[in-house]
Structure 1
């Protein structure tokens, strides 16, 4: 029930008949709602109606997804916003949103238009069929193909397509300039004889794009098939030599670099017309498969189609990146125009928001990218001097293209290019020095250890300042001694200009990285040192290195600069303030005062000189299931800390007393009835528990480890297998199977969180985060470490009860969860949990389990 609810409904009533609802949203709800759902919808609707945000904590069975969707859609009907945008970091929850919208649409004459947002890998046809070049990443290969396609369909393109003037019903024009017989497509003159382009005309020529698509359609070979649709284009990406006149001479692109994307071209040929609508999706909800099927069948780009349909959707469903990643927001905000004051935001699994957004705001820059950017700038300088270019290329043409591009930019000259080139060379050497010094200090003769195979395959953090102070990092300080103070600021402009030179050069297919590198280095030099922590990431990656200009450690490690966001409070507040309001929901948001602070919502509520205060409220709903169906215990064991538990040995005689006590308790729980989930504070401790339990428990003991999703799914399938055999699953409370995994029905009978799953507070990055929170919120350890850890434990034991007819046991193993314990974290549990969890001594655990299951036989 609602722990803070106003009176007005019967707490024992199972559902409220829709016929009794006196609410505008009553026709939206697909079944008779529970009382907490009625209360939740009313609260959320009222808060969103005032342009505010509701923090909604609801235990499993509350129906948080339906509450948020119904309240948001009713707010749209009330004119508060234009659409609902639901974001979640968990794929299973994304599917749940899709299911719920389809359920809402099932009986509606005018269904809501729903659209699932996904990335290019899931939508680009040649990526879906694994037909992209294998020597590069999918994203880079796809981007290169799309860039080349854009060049082919550009109004300014000088690449002659292999088509006659009379093709396409005579619509193709021939240049009207005297003595010129070049094709000009939809223009009166070819690019060479054209005046300044009409600024109102699009950059692309739809007739060129149409010609390009027709040429590809006529190519022989099997057609591409995906999502149950057959495309009009070949299964392999076409090449420019297939569509250009005298391709060997006119097309300087080599092999794979000459491949382009006809689906992308068709989108421009149709001038952005998608050719299908939401009826192509099941119950008016377009997921990735539906978009791909509809788009591929008519030869247009599914990813562009998705972007074009975004503004027409009533409900958008995506992941956190679409709302909070500065890069992805360009699609959802700038291109599609849907992250604005017409959007009501629903944030699912909101307890993850702070950590996930911190990662989204952080950036890395590899040594490889720095060296490549150095080469980009060096080549531009060579072009400008008339000495650069590949064998057979005309240096004078390079020079002409480079100077023309440089003239289009003000404020960047050849001296800036020279400084940037020197700086990038210096930066690569500085990273080499930092890494070399660290490896010598850490391992001594590390080269010998590497040759002998005894070098640990560990990754490392190399902090560039004291994590517990706010000071300029060593690289920035050293750069100030070698270069002008504004060098970091200038790198962004230089990178942008150098990239434009390469992109406008007609003799090369080079894909420059200097723009992105310059922008990141600009951020490195301007971002606050209290908010961002600077370090070098060293990743163990054994490989053969033939480049003699690389550092000797490159055969064992990859190095990257890391600009790590410590506190995302301000960016979150700005994002929320851009929108019409919304709901942030999770089973574990309490303590609300802490969540309001770290999420930036307190800043929103306070307002500022340029921002009006926004309404921020909270609501909490406990388990709505019969209390007799569950046992909730804190086992009074010593703190499971690193110092107390000692090394993870499996010989009972060699264990510390604390580890022995936990080993006995784990065996007791594992031997209990049904499937058992044991959540240790780390994967290392989970490994210990697995080894020990396999020697002392007859049930199969499954080990979850940090792995890819396919391996995790296979492990869960074994755990859920309905074959009459009960199992034990051991994992880390900081892993993936304790959040967003559905243990409904009889999949789980007991869930236990072992210890308080703190992050590694000794790591430099975590120390920097704690320091930043100390400075902002006074109690950095509680807000940055303790609260997230307790939420992990709450998520873990929350897996066990998912419905009214389920029974189960929830256990916390560590006396720190008790209210009177030293270093107690009891106050960080939810209010209902503090009231319900009771103390159990270790020697009574076995008896307690037996009595509970006997009473629930």
Structure 2
């Protein structure tokens, strides 16, 4: 018998569990909007595992980042400890992150690098796992008898047996009821099919659970887009000539010529240069040059041409320029069709997040039809969270210069009255530095730096756990997502301005596209992505039902209809008495 992993269900958890039970029974789709810290992972896994056992199904539980998997493993262990039936589960990360073979290959080339070293019998870890006939070797069979249910234990056991951790995880997944993996394992076109075959996952007999699913639309766009640098095109040009494929070299040269015409980011039209037969020739060029650890640039060309030939009319092809040089990009603009195809292939799908408002927009982005929705806000979370819009200031560009001192004055007043830890998120490093100039208590302030090393980041987080420090950070930087604030160390989070994406060819194309499709390109292309960042940053302060945190949104635009619908219903608006409000509510 499968039992709930805690003594009792908290407010909202029974609603989630009951809704999932009903959804799986009907082979449907369910979107869950539930506050951070209310225990949606426990309620979801409990109900999904029960349904899987009753219907002889598997569960594929997807997370956006591998660091998010730990809570899933902990919850499954708790379910096993409290239940008479034991659930076999397996964790899998990306192949590159699990690789023990020492290499310095760039991420985009790793899959091809892995294939090359396996086929040339250069990877002992793989050779120790399988025979030449692909049979599992005795050492791997022995390792599978160990407790390797999460990726950390897989890495340890694989290292001790000198086996391939990724392959060991796939073998373990084949004999498990619950498989915990990354978005890419179901939604990356280059990975998904092979992954489901190797793990024995038949989508038609599998419950798909997607955690933090507000990330999914953007992740799918990343996974279905591709780019190649001018430098790699020039290398592929030389490789084509050396391999005797002068016709391919001529076509590459046409693309290089288009790139060289561009002096700033701009759309280009290169469709029609390559055809399907060219892909076979490029594959031959790759094989001609592929020796040992060397992955030719033609491999990148092959992936680029493949994406170019399969691109839709609405996709955008453009040249971008940065400090590394020029790149040509083929970007998808709409994840809906692809997401719908994947989601519809599963027995039932559960999508959950604390950042799913308004649900209708996310369902449109993911092409969901005939789904059920559930919004749950835990009473304890609502009672412990204060969200305030400070409409006396704005970061609007046209008013920015005169607003710097006003915003700084508000932050100074908060810091003067409140001697606990707090975080202020800014839309850019430049904006943060301008505000910092006006600060009175600079000795309390810790500033985020660009491209911080993990050790430095951890050091700053450590300071936030024991001193009355104030972190100045950039939204969408090192600290706005996936940081572990323990023991309610941060009591106030301020979000300064609205973190719109800077103008770009891609952003403009997306806005035009959604104007045609939905009638509101600005909201889909700019407002929604910005508000996802805002709500993720706002959620850093409350990670459990007992945490207490004030969230200050410093920009009058949050009080307009277009932004307010993304916020909780209990948000309060103030104009001149922000600190008075904080004192009244016990936060200053």
Structure-2 residue corresponding to 1:427: 255
How many Å apart are 1:73 and its aligned residue?
Answer: 0.8
Match of 1:841 in 2: 575
Tell me what 1:493 maps to: 280
Q: What stretches of structure 2 of length at least 5 have no aligned partner?
A: none
Aligned twin of 2:392? 637
Give me the whole-angstrom Cα distance separating, in 2, the residues matched to 1:50 and 1:709: 48
CA offset digits 1:168-209 (Å, max 9, x no partner)? xxxxxxxxxxxxxxxxxxxxxxxxxxxxxxxxxxxxxxxxxx
Residue 233 of structure 2, aligned match among 365, 370, 373: 370
User: Pairwise mapping of residues 694-713 of structure 1 onto structure 2 (< 5 A)?
Assistant: 696-697=440-441, 700-708=444-452, 710-711=454-455, 713=457
From 455, 470, 475, the equivalent of 2:270 is: 475
Q: Of 487, 490, 511, which aligns to 1:748? A: 490
1:117 — aligned with what? 92
1:58 paired residue among 21, 34, 42: 34
**Map of 1:665-680 to 2, 5 A cutoff?**
665-671=410-416, 672-680=418-426
* CA distance in 2 between partners of 1:513 and 1:343 (Å): 38
From 644, 660, 664, give the equivalent of 2:409. 664
- Among 136, 151, 160, the alignment partner of 1:272 is 136
Match of 1:46 in 2: 22
Partner of residue 348, structure 2: 581
CA separation of 1:586/1:278 partners in 2, compared to 1, >3 Å: closer, same or farther? farther
Question: Which residues in structure 2 correspond to 1:782-793 (within 5 Å)?
Answer: 782-793=523-534
- The 2-side partners of 1:148 and 1:679 are apart by 45
Among 335, 358, 362, the residue aligned to 2:221: 358
Q: CA deviation at 1:638?
A: 4.0
Seen in structure 2, the aligned counterparts of structure 1 residues 576 and 728 have a Cα distance that, compared at 3 Å, is: same
Distance of aligned partners of 1:633 and 1:332 in 2 relative to their CA distance in 1, 3 Å threshold: same
Structure with larger RCO (C-alpha < 8 A, sep 6+): 2
Change (3 A) 1:313 1:428: same
Q: 1: CA distance between counterparts of 2:292 and 2:556?
A: 67
Taking the aligned partners of 1:642 and 1:375, their CA distance within structure 2 comes to: 47
Alignment of 1:817 with 2:550, yes or no, is no
Deviations, residues 638-673 of structure 1 (Å, cap 9, x unaligned): 432111113xxxxxxxxx1x3332121121223324
Change (3 A) 1:513 1:365: same
Kept in 1: contact 2:392–2:574 (CA 8 A): no
For 2:71, the equivalent position in structure 1 comes to 96
Cα distance in 2 for partners of 1:495, 1:138 equals 21
Shift of 1:42: 0.7
What number of residue pairs does the alignment pair up?
A: 583
Alpha-carbon spacing, 1:750–1:297, altered in 2? closer, same or farther (3 Å): closer
Residue correspondence of structure 1 range 363-402 to structure 2 within 5 A: 363-381=226-244
Look up the SS of the partner of 2:317 in the other structure: strand
Counterpart residue number, 1:826: 564
The alpha carbon displacement at 1:278 in A equals: 5.7
- What is the distance in 2 between the residues matched to 1:137 and 1:825? 39
The match for 1:521 is: 305
CA 754–518 in structure 1, closer or farther in 2 if over 3 Å, else same: same
Name the residue aligned to 2:537.
796
> How far apart are residue 576 of structure 1 and its match?
0.6
2:44 to 68, 72, 81: 68
Alpha-carbon distance, 1:715 to partner: 4.4
Call closer, same or farther: CA 1:597–1:46 in 2, change over 3 Å.
same
Counterpart position of 1:852: 585
1:308-347 equivalences under 5 Å are 308-338=171-201, 340-347=203-210
DSSP-derived class of the 2:130 partner:
helix
Out of 672, 679, 685, the position equivalent to 2:431 is 685
CA displacement 1:27-85 (0-9 Å, x = unmatched): 24333111411111010121122222211111123211112211211121121x62212
Structure 2 CA distance for aligned equivalents of residues 48 and 758 of structure 1: 38
Q: Distance in 2 between matches of 1:474 and 1:82?
A: 47
Post-superposition CA distance 1:375-431 (Å, at most 9, x none): 3332332xxxxxxxxxxxxxxxxxxxxxxxxxxxxxxxxxxx442222123323332
Give the equivalent residue in structure 2 for 1:463: 266
Provide the C-alpha distance between the structure 1 equivalents of 2:154 and 2:109, rounded to a whole number of angstroms: 23
Question: Does the 8 Å CA contact 2:11/2:378 hold for their aligned counterparts?
Answer: no
Q: 1:754 to 1:519 in 2, by over 3 A?
A: closer
Report the CA distance between 1:775 and its aligned residue. Answer: 1.7
Q: 1:564-603 counterparts in 2 under 5 A? A: 564-601=331-368
3-state SS of paired residue (2:334): coil
On the 8 A contact 1:76/1:82 being kept in 2, the answer is yes
SS at 1:126's partner residue?
coil
1:596-637, Cα deviation, whole Å (9 max, x unpaired):
101221xxx2xxxxxxxxx41111112421755443322222
Separation of aligned partners in 2, 1:533 and 1:746: 44
Q: Distance in 1 between matches of 2:81 and 2:489?
A: 29
Tell whether the 8 Å contact from 1:307 to 1:331 is kept in structure 2 after alignment.
Answer: no
Over 3 Å counting, the alpha-carbon distance change for 1:47 and 1:849 in structure 2 is: same
CA contact under 8 A between 1:635 and 1:813: conserved in structure 2?
yes
Counterpart of 1:619 (choices 364, 374, 380) is 374
TM-score under structure 2 normalisation?
A: 0.91
Note closer, same or farther for the CA distance 1:509–1:125 as it changes in structure 2 (3 Å cut). closer
Per the alignment, residue 87 of structure 1 pairs with: 62
